[in-house]
Amino acid sequence: MPMSNVPDVAPGKRPLWIQRRDFTKDLADLVWYANTALSVEVVFAEIIRPKEMAVIYAEKGLGIINSLHCLGLAGDLLVYVNGFYQKDHQTYETLGAKWKELNPLNRWGGDFKRDDADHFERRPE
């Protein structure tokens, strides 16, 4: 998805690209933590989601229209064990705790009412 080169600065807020840069650094830290401290294999799934796709997901009950994926402030990080994608909440609990530790704006999908354990996002400022 092409991104504008025009700074998107709102009063009292840092530009979105700066927020996305910091979110990306935290995701990199989370991957590093998974690979080193936990010896867990992870792969990225969806990061940026076009608005049109968010509408389709919402219609199918697979997501919400105002997903932070649309702002580039959410990422799905999948854990694999012996080549198999792990879907259970418990597998992601340590990663979720680490994610929230990295920044107070970070939220883990495992805490959502509708569990989304492989989802890691940052609240926009």
Quote the least distance from Cβ 96 to Zn ion, whole Å. Answer: 13
Q: Return the number of the residue (10 or 85) whose C-beta is nearest Zn ion.
A: 85
Q: Return the number of the residue (7 or 24) whose C-beta is nearest Zn ion.
A: 24
Give contact residues for Zn ion (rule: CB under 5 A): 76, 119
Q: How many CB atoms lie within 10 A of CB 11?
A: 4
Closest-approach residue to Zn ion (CB): 119
The closest alpha carbon to 47, from 1, 8, 14, 5, belongs to 1
CA distances from 34 to 31, 39, 75, 77, 95 (A): 5, 6, 15, 10, 7
For 56, the enclosing helix (H) or strand (E) is helix 51-59
Q: Return the number of the residue (9 or 80) whose C-beta is nearest Zn ion.
A: 80
Quote the least distance from Cβ 46 to Zn ion, whole Å. Answer: 6
Cα–Cα dist 120/106, whole Å: 7
Quote the least distance from Cβ 78 to Zn ion, whole Å. Answer: 10
Tokens of 119: 């989802």
Quote the least distance from Cβ 39 to Zn ion, whole Å. Answer: 24
Q: Return the number of the residue (18 or 53) whose C-beta is nearest Zn ion.
A: 53
